Amino acid sequence: MTVFVLVPGAGGEAWYWHRLVPELERRGHTAVAVDLPAADESAGLAEYVDVVVAAAAGHPAPVVVGQSMGALTAALTCERLDAAGLVLLNAMTPRPGETPDEWWENTGFEQARIAQAERDGRRLEDDPDLLDAFFHDVPDDVSAEALRRGAPQQSGTPFALPWPLDAWPDVPTRFLQGRDDRFFPLEFQQRVVGERLGVPVEELPGGHLLALSRPVELADLLVR
C-alpha cells in the first residue's frame, strides 16, 4: 500500500483531486489531497510546504504528487516527509534560484504555446480565460461543477520568490505528461524536462487537468 500526497497547482484546491482519490483507494492505496493557502497574499512556498507536511502527518514515506505549479511545493516537501518518491504531473520544473515568474520566459513557454495552437489550428485569442486550454477534455458535468465553484484565487507571492533548493530532491522521480495538454505542450515539456531534470517524460492521453479528465488512466499509471 502506498500513501499518495496530492499537491494541487495554482489555486491550491484539494477539489482538483476529487475524481482521482477514489480511484487510488479502490486500488488499495491511501490518498491525501491538500488544500493550499493560495489566496493568502502573505503565504509563499514555505507556508505551502508547512500545510502539506501537516496534512501528511501520520503517513510515513509517502509518494508526493505535484500538479503544474504544485510541483514547486511538492519537491520542497520531500526531505521533511522522508518521501519515497516524487511524481511531477504536467509540471513546472524550476532551476535552483529561479523565481516562478522568471520560469515563463526562461523556458520559452509562450512561444511553445503559440506554436502548439498553430499546429492544432486554434487561436489563443479565442480563449482569453483559458477555459478551453484547461477544460477541453474534462467531462461536461465536471467542467460545470468547476465553473459553479468559481475560479480559485492564486496570489502572486510564491511566483516572486526564488525557488530555494540547490538541486531537485534525491528521491526517485517520475514526470507524467498529458500528450493533449494545450497549456504546457508535450514537445515543450520534453525539452524542458530533458534539460532540467534528465528524466523520461511518461505520456498519457489527456490535457492539463488529468486528475479531472482521466482519473482512471492516471491512477493506473501512478500505481504501476
pLDDT string in tens for the chain (224-residue length):
999 999 999 999 999 999 999 999 999 999 999 999 999 999 999 999 999 999 999 999 999 999 999 999 999 999 999 999 999 999 999 999 999 999 999 999 999 999 999 999 999 999 999 999 999 999 999 999 999 999 899 999 999 999 999 999 999 999 999 999 999 999 999 999 999 999 999 999 999 999 999 999 999 999 98
| CB atoms near residue 170 (< 10 Å) | 9
Rounded Cα distance, 173 and 207, in Å: 21
Q: Which residues pair with 178 in a beta bridge?
A: 204
Partners of residue 174 on adjacent β-strands:
87
CA 70, CA 89: separation in Å to the nearest integer?
Answer: 9
β-bridge mates for residue 66, sequence order:
7, 88
* pLDDT confidence of residue 49: 98
List, edge to edge, every strand of the sheet that includes 30-33. 30-33, 3-7, 63-67, 85-89, 173-178, 201-204
Tell me the three state secondary structure of residue 204.
Answer: strand
CA distance 221 to 204: 8
- Residue 224: its pLDDT value, please? 87
pLDDT of residue 204: 96
Of 183, 182, 204, 201, nearest to 191 (Cα)? 201
Residues in the chain: 224
- Looking at residue 123, its pLDDT comes to 93
d(CA 163, CA 208): 23
Correct CATH for 3-223 of 3.90.1300.10, 3.40.50.2300, 1.20.120.80, 3.40.50.1820: 3.40.50.1820
Alpha-carbon gap, residue 155 to 107, rounded angstroms: 22
